[in-house]
């Protein structure tokens, strides 16, 4: 998923209004923030394989340290503990942050074909929603729309920036999503890794949005 992970960040804000949207974006996208770094470093691997699924031409055949369930549970616990220690946050907020990390694997499990290992070198699972382009678009866009609606009900802009920054992000991710649907396959795995680093942009963008919005009662 792509906008589905942003959706998880928006939804998490409804349950942890004291946590910044930037932190929740970082949590929900954590696996895909670390993954391109490991691809570039040669620790994890993928290949361009047109037809691998209808939705994406990428074969994610080796990413045990970012996308195996057992390791993801570890990332979830670690992120929650670090957040609580760094922010002196309530355990309830830390729990939401940790679940946001775990949500990434759950959403990937729905969309990926069976390429998600349960543990490093373990059996692989995936429901394969990506085998249907219409199904993927309907599910992901609907999830994003509901998540955005929940976020708008949970927060209120305190100035014009709070509105502009949010809707600029919505438009931007929408354009990226549409471009991914129509673009030719990327040239190679290394290029995918470098392009994937752009996901880091959404973390400070989330903090920017949150500084100009306040939780609703």
* pLDDT above 80 (res 123): yes
* pLDDT tens figures, 80-91: 999 999 999 999
Tell me the pTM: 0.95
Dist. CA 150–CA 40, nearest whole Å:
36
Say what the pLDDT of residue 47 is: 96
* pLDDT above 90 (res 217): no
* pLDDT tens figures, 98-108: 999 999 999 99
* pLDDT above 80 (res 1): no
Mean pLDDT of the chain: 96
Stretch 117-144: mean pLDDT: 97
Say what the pLDDT of residue 182 is: 87
* pLDDT tens figures, 36-61: 999 999 999 999 999 999 999 999 99
Stretch 175-181: mean pLDDT: 91
Say what the pLDDT of residue 2 is: 80
Q: Tell me, letter by letter, the H, E, C secondary structure of the chain.
A: CCHHHHHHHHHHHHHCCCCCHHHHHHHHCHHHHHHHHHHHHCCCEEEECCCCCCCCCEEEEECHHHHCHHHHHHHHHHHHHHHHHHHCCCHHHHHHHHHHHHHHHHHHHHHCCCCEECCCCCCEECCCHHHCHHHHHHHHHHHHHHHHHHHHHHEEECCHHHHHHHHHHHHHHHHHHHHHHHCCCCCCHHHHHHHHHHHHHHHHHHHHHHHCEEECC
Going from N- to C-terminal start, the domains of the chain cover: 3-215
């Amino acid at each position: 998923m792509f906008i589905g992970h942003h959706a998880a960040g928006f939804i998490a804000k409804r349950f942890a209004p004291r946590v910044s949207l930037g932190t929740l974006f970082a949590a929900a996208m954590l696996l895909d923030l670390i993954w391109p770094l490991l691809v570039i470093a040669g620790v994890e691997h993928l290949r361009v394989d047109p037809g691998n699924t209808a939705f994406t031409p990428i074969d994610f055949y080796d990413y045990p340290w970012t996308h195996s369930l057992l390791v993801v549970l570890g990332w979830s616990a670690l992120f929650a503990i670090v957040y609580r220690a760094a922010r002196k946050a309530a355990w309830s907020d830390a729990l939401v942050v940790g679940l946001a990390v775990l949500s990434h694997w759950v959403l990937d499990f729905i969309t990926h074909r069976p390429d998600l290992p349960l543990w490093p070198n373990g059996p692989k699972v995936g429901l394969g929603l990506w085998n249907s382009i219409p199904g993927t678009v309907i599910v992901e866009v609907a999830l994003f729309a509901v998540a955005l609606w929940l976020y708008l009900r949970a927060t209120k802009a305190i100035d014009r920036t709070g509105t502009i920054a949010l809707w600029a992000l919505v438009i931007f991710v929408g354009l990226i999503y549409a471009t991914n649907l129509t673009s030719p396959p990327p040239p190679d795995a290394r290029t995918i890794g470098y392009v994937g680093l752009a996901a880091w942009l959404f973390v400070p963008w989330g903090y920017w949005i949150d500084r100009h919005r306040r939780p609703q009662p």
